[in-house]
Chain A
Amino acid sequence: MKRSSFLFCLMFLFSSLMTVWGADDIEQQITQIKQVQKEGQGNLTASQAVQKLSKSNASALIPILSGFKDANPIAVNWLRGAFEAIAANAIKQKTLPTQKLEKFIQDKSQNPRARRLAYETLIKVDPQAADRIIPGMLNDASVTLRRDAVQRLIDEAKSLEKAGKKNQAKKVYQQALTGATDSDQVKAIVKPLRALGDKIDLQKHFGFLSDWMIVGPFDNRDKKGYDTVYSPEDKIDFSSTLEGKEGKVKWKSVNTEDDYGIFDIAKSISPYKGAVMYCVADFYSPQEQSLEIRLGTPNAWKIWVNGKLLFARNEYHRGMVVDQYSVPVKFKPGKNVILLKLCQNEQTDSWAQRYQFQLRIARPSGIGVLSQKAEATTQLSP
């Protein structure tokens, strides 16, 4: 072997080894960052790792994005910090791996946020990539990629409508609705669709629970009822008569036809003050599944699922919106019993009179999930 060939081989071997060592190092730093836990546990190690990682070249970008898998939300942010520092340099040096990023975006097995980050980085250097990627994201697990896809269809439908092509517009609006979960987009679709003659069951679209059993009022004067354990917290028996704040009370069946599943206690039952009401609904799940209970209410509340306290919030009259609270829940197969305790205070201000709630079941992506049993009491229709 000639001397030059020998040197070439040596250099190739050396550079290959460097690549392997570098990749190992990157993986090690990613692993260290993913050890970050609540209350700053692991911060010191992660801080050192993220600073090292941030100095890597563009070859670290895809491993970092892949590292989002199984990372907790805090670790995801740490990884994003390193990714952006490296990506900013790569863009300056024109070394951004655009093809690999696009392939990563299309890989739906990857973390939705990692794919969105890859997309936002890619379109900085290739704005036309949006036209290639977004139309295929209508039912994507990434909330924001899906949102962009829905918006394109809304814009297209509007143009068709403006051009007098009502049937085509209707079809595009209907398509857009299949991916829409943000209330602003849903409203922007439903209004013209209804004007075009479509009947839309928004409760079903969002997965709102509309049929409830309710009992009360119990005493919440001086806001003491929040921590007081009334009978429904021990046992739910719809045939029982209970001692309430204003005498004997019985469970009764109630429902709402509001598009957004708002059940208005003040309007439908009574504008109770200093009161606790308990509401029960069933949710049938075909299998064990991890979903979210999404609640909106201006009142203080506690939620139990199958007798286990899931979350509690002692805040009154700071507003109410769809998906105000998202509480992770693991439903068991079959019937699951949701118990909501809703507390109203005694404020006399005009803005403190609302006593209401809206509750839906959704995937983490925001897509509504319906109860799966036809005879379930919790949905308007199967």
Chain B
Amino acid sequence: MKYESIKFLIPLIAVCLSCGADWPQFRGPLTNNVAISETPPAKVDQENIAWTAELEGRGASGPIVVGDKVFITSTTGFKQDQLHVLCFDANSGKRLWERQFWATGRTQCHKKMSVATPTPASDGKRVFATFSSNDVVCLDLDGNLLWIRGLSHDYPNASNSLGMASSPIVVGETLIVPVENDDDSFTTGLDVKTGIARWKINRPRVANWTSPAILQSSPNAEPVVLLQSSEGVDGIYPETGETAWQYEQGAGRIPSTTVGDNILYVPSNGLTALSPGSSSDPPKVLWKEQKLSPGTASPLVYQNNVFTVNRAGVLNCANPQTGDLVWRLRLKGPFSATPIAAANHLYLVNEKGLLQVVQLGTDKGEVTGDIDLKETILATPAIANNSLFIRSDKHLWKISSK
């Protein structure tokens, strides 16, 4: 392995190790929707609600968990131009601190969306919060401001009148922030310590609400960040922004690519499975399956199966090597939040606030419990502390074993 590769890998491993059982960004530590060693309750009812914290304003961003702290974002104001970053005690639900900033970019978005749609990210020492206004805030875990950027302030045509939704991810010392839209479209890699751009690359000029994923094809391989757009998927090196390879057969602009067992599952032509080659070779198409086309929620790979939820609220379970359907289960939808997995169960929360827990079997899935939280929920939950953390506009809940 080249020195450059080793140099890069060390911080990534360090971040993963420091995350431990944390849920430090959208879709978890490995951006694949799966908790590594956590065991949230397998059967849930109202008695599993450990605590409820009140929120104000709007927010479709998911919570993240670092140690004993839960971080979320929200917005207030008629124009959603007051940007909030909040921190709660994971054990008690007590609000530990809150910081506010003013949007410096446009805050117009679709009424279903929120300016606080991107889920924050953390490297274990810092919290990075981004908003639809393309403001990027970096705080330490105690709420002290480390730096702030206004990407639409810098590039005034970087915006989307329906709202920006892509969540940032941290890889090593780089925060990857997608700002992909119909006009000044780009993705940038910011130095986590200063907020100054390490790189900025032009991206297809089409509105894009997908979030990046990380491909670590082997323990020794250089990680590649997957940027999805209507044109396909680009693998880029997170430290330089240089392109490693491109898949150019088109892809969706809402559900995001998921990596599982070293295969990419791309919302493209239904669902397309790609097998990555070496770090610079383009991946090969393993299969394409229209029947597995995901709705808004991203695909999930767990326990040797690939799962998608379609627009009708049907959970599809398929063979990840062939795309053949194994079983289907009709759930109560619709879903905006991506399903997450732990301890042989899937956790799915629909837009009406109904959390459904699905126990996985070899030939079928079975709903083992649900909780009706009775509020609109669009955000993907987090799993940490053997619990689920779920947010609506009005509340943040911790769901634990009794």
Tell me whether A324 and B108 are in contact (CB under 8 A).
Answer: yes
Task: For A319, list chain B residues within 8 Å (CB).
Answer: 108, 110, 161-162
Contact A77 B135 (CB under 8 A): yes
Q: Please measure, in the bound complex, the distance between the C-alpha atom of A82 and the C-alpha atom of B101, giving whole angstroms.
A: 11
CB < 8 Å neighbour of B147 from A43, A73, A76: A43
Complex-state Cα separation, A319 to B104, whole angstroms: 20
- SS class, residues of chain A in contact with chain B: helix
* Residue pair B194, A47 in contact (C-beta under 8 Å): yes
Complex contact A314–B104 (CB within 8 A)? no
Report if A77-B110 is in contact (Cβ < 8 Å); known contacts: A85-B144, A315-B181: no
Q: Which of A39, A44, A113, A315 touches B183 (beta carbons < 8 Å)? A: A315
From residue A317, how far is it (CB to closest CB) to chain B in Å?
Answer: 9
- Expressed in whole angstroms, the Cα–Cα distance for A9 and B131 within the complex equals 54
Interface residues of B in 192-208 (CB under 8 A from A): 194-197, 205, 207
A182 to B154, CA, bound (A): 26
In the complex with contacts A77-B101, A319-B162, A314-B194 CB distance below 8 A? no
* CB proximity of A378 to chain B, nearest CB, Å: 25
Provide the residues of chain A in CB contact with B108, threshold 8 Å.
Answer: 319, 321, 324
Interface size band for B: 35 or more
Q: How far is the CA of A213 from the CA of B197 in the complex (A)?
A: 45
CB contact under 8 A between A43 and B195, given known A78-B148, A81-B99, A321-B108: yes
In the complex, chain B residues 73-115 whose Cβ is within 8 Å of any chain A Cβ: 77-79, 97, 99-102, 104, 106, 108, 110
Q: Is the CB of B145 within 8 A of A82?
A: yes
**With contact pairs A80-B101, A81-B99 given, residues A74 and B182 touching in the complex (Cβ less than 8 Å):** no
Of the residues A80, A82, A315, contact of B182 by C-beta under 8 Å? A315
B101/A73 in contact, CB under 8 A: no
**B143 located at the interface, meaning its Cβ lies under 8 Å from any Cβ of chain A in the complex:** yes
Question: What is the predominant secondary structure among interface residues of chain B facing chain A?
Answer: loop
Chain B contacts for A276, CB-based, 8 A: none
B80 to chain A, nearest CB (A): 12
Interface contacts (Cβ under 8 Å), in number, total 103
In the complex, chain A residues whose CB is within 8 Å of the CB of B139: 81
Verify if A40 is at the interface (C-beta below 8 Å from B). Answer: yes
- A residues in contact with B207, CB < 8 Å: 318
Q: Is B270 an interface residue (CB 8 A)?
A: no
Q: Tell me if A40 and B181 are in contact (CB < 8 A).
A: no
Q: Does A316 contact B (CB under 8 A)?
A: yes
Classify chain A: how many residues form its interface, as a range: 35 or more
A39 to B152, CA, bound (A): 10
- Check if B183 sits within 8 Å of A51, measured CB to CB: no
Which B residues lie within 8 Å of A311 (CB)?
A: 156
Asked if B196 contacts A40 (CB within 8 A), the reply is yes
Task: Kindly state whether residue B211 has any CB partner on chain A within 8 Å.
Answer: no
B157 A313 Cβ-Cβ under 8 A = yes
Tell me, yes or no, whether A162 is within 8 Å of chain B by CB: no
Which of A51, A182, A312 is B144 in contact with, Cβ under 8 Å? Answer: A51
Interface residues of B in 158-210 (CB under 8 A from A): 160-162, 181-183, 190, 194-197, 205, 207
The 6 listed contacts between A and B (C-beta, < 8 Å) are: A43-B194, A74-B150, A76-B102, A84-B99, A182-B78, A315-B160
Which residues of B approach A to under 8 Å, CB–CB?
77-79, 97, 99-102, 104, 106, 108, 110, 135, 137, 139, 143-150, 153-154, 156-157, 160-162, 181-183, 190, 194-197, 205, 207
